[in-house]
Structure 1
Amino acid sequence: MTPDDLVLTPRGVRFQGQLYPCTIGKTGITRNKREGDKATPAGIHRIVGMLYRPDRIPAPVPWAMPIGTRDLWSDDGTQGDYNSLVQAPYPHSHEVLRRADPLYDLVILTDWNWPDAVAGRGSAIFIHQQRRPGYPTEGCVAFSRAHLHQIAARLTRHSRLIV
């Protein structure tokens, strides 16, 4: 582990000497991640990107990419672009990245089941803003808005999420 790693503990995520409360998947942590199981996958996940809503917030780091009006994330395991960024119109199952609520105003991308995605092994394992404290995710790791922005501004291209 390095100081730039985000390490999930029973009390939250430890990052650069601080402990940040967070929420994880509704069904806890799993070593056998499946699409739709609502679990956070155990393992060491590299941080591979960051997306942000340019109409709502400034870029938290120079390497963050803006979320466009047509940006989606494919969660359809029958498609070749499963677990990757796609553009609308997209007739297959997907998540909308440009949401009405603030959950995806800032999204940190992990390398879970990416870039060579295996169908059904799970998609869209992000780090993002939580709905409210203690409210679980569908498998992601989520923080308060303030903590997410503090963490994002200090991440490096070598940071990892260790679950």
Structure 2
Amino acid sequence: MLPAPLRTLVVHARPGHPTQGLLRAGRLVFPCALGRGGISANKREGDGATPLAAMRILSGYFRDDHFADARKTRLAMRPIGADLGWCEVPDDRNYNRPVRIPYGASHERMKRDDRLYDACLVLGWNVVPRRRSCGSAIFFHLARDGFTPTQGCVAVSARTMARLLPHLSSATVLKVIR
């Protein structure tokens, strides 16, 4: 049983598998995917690492056509449109912020065909203040089959996300530990 609301989610690497993790929510434990670079205390843009940090869940995005359960939460959730992107260029004024696409600088497209962002929560990594090259687009989102590595995010199954969402709020902290 999950407490409502959850104040903390704790994530650590699965022993012997640095790109896979275990996420503890209350007394429950769920498998998760971590970054291809494992967990790092010195997160840098493009390293593929999941930051070793406590990150507040700020808000989220969802695909209404794929993941209606995203509305069952205390978080501020916005639908993902075809024009939503996320800037990943450290020298751009919109680095680590949502942008409207097409956009002149390199960006991630949020409306993905692989459904990883059908439910995508923005973590408070390198948001305030933003530091150039310290990592962008660190999200809590849906995992690929087999929990293959992310680009630095934490990812869970759609079933786990649907189970957690009603218990999450902007006061919830996702804490990545070793």
Q: TM-score normalised by the shorter chain: which range applies? A: over 0.9
1:110 and 1:125 in contact (8 A); partners too: yes
Kindly indicate whether residue 17 of structure 2 is the aligned counterpart of residue 15 of structure 1.
Answer: no
Poorly superposed stretches of 4+, deviation over 6 Å? none
Matches of 1:115 and 1:68 in 2, distance apart?
25
Structure 1 or 2: larger strand share?
2
Look up the equivalent residue of 2:135 and give its one-letter code: G
Shift of residue 119, structure 1, vs aligned partner = 1.1
Q: How does 1:17-36 map to 2 (within 5 A)?
A: 17-36=27-46
The one-character-per-residue Cα deviations of 1:65-102 (angstroms, maximum 9, x if unpaired) are 11122000000111111001110120111000011121
Look up the equivalent residue of 2:72 and give its one-letter code: P
1:3 and 1:17 in contact (8 A); partners too: no
Structure 1 equivalent of residue 50 of structure 2 = 40
Matches of 1:83 and 1:19 in 2, distance apart?
30
The one-character-per-residue Cα deviations of 1:43-79 (angstroms, maximum 9, x if unpaired) are 1101100110122222232521111220000001111
1:77 and 1:119 in contact (8 A); partners too: yes
- Structure 2 unmatched runs, 5+: 15-21
Look up the equivalent residue of 2:10 and give its one-letter code: V
2:115 and 2:142 in contact (8 A); partners too: yes
Secondary structure of 2:146's match? coil
2:34 and 2:153 in contact (8 A); partners too: yes
**Cα RMSD, aligned residues only:** 1.5
Instruction: Percent identity, please.
Output: 36
- TM (normalized to structure 2)? 0.86
Kindly indicate whether residue 79 of structure 2 is the aligned counterpart of residue 75 of structure 1.
Answer: no
Structure 2 equivalent of residue 112 of structure 1 = 125
Q: CA 1:4/1:146 → structure 2, altered by over 3 Å: closer, same or farther?
A: same
1:103 and 1:129 in contact (8 A); partners too: yes
Deviates more, 1:136-145 or 1:6-15: 6-15
Structure 2 equivalent of residue 66 of structure 1 = 79
The one-character-per-residue Cα deviations of 1:4-51 (angstroms, maximum 9, x if unpaired) are 211013440101221011010111110111000010001110110011
- Structure 1 unmatched runs, 5+: none
2:146 paired residue among 122, 133, 158: 133
Q: Aligned pairs, how many?
A: 162
2:13 and 2:39 in contact (8 A); partners too: no
Shift of residue 3, structure 1, vs aligned partner = 4.8
Q: CA 1:3/1:98 → structure 2, altered by over 3 Å: closer, same or farther?
A: closer
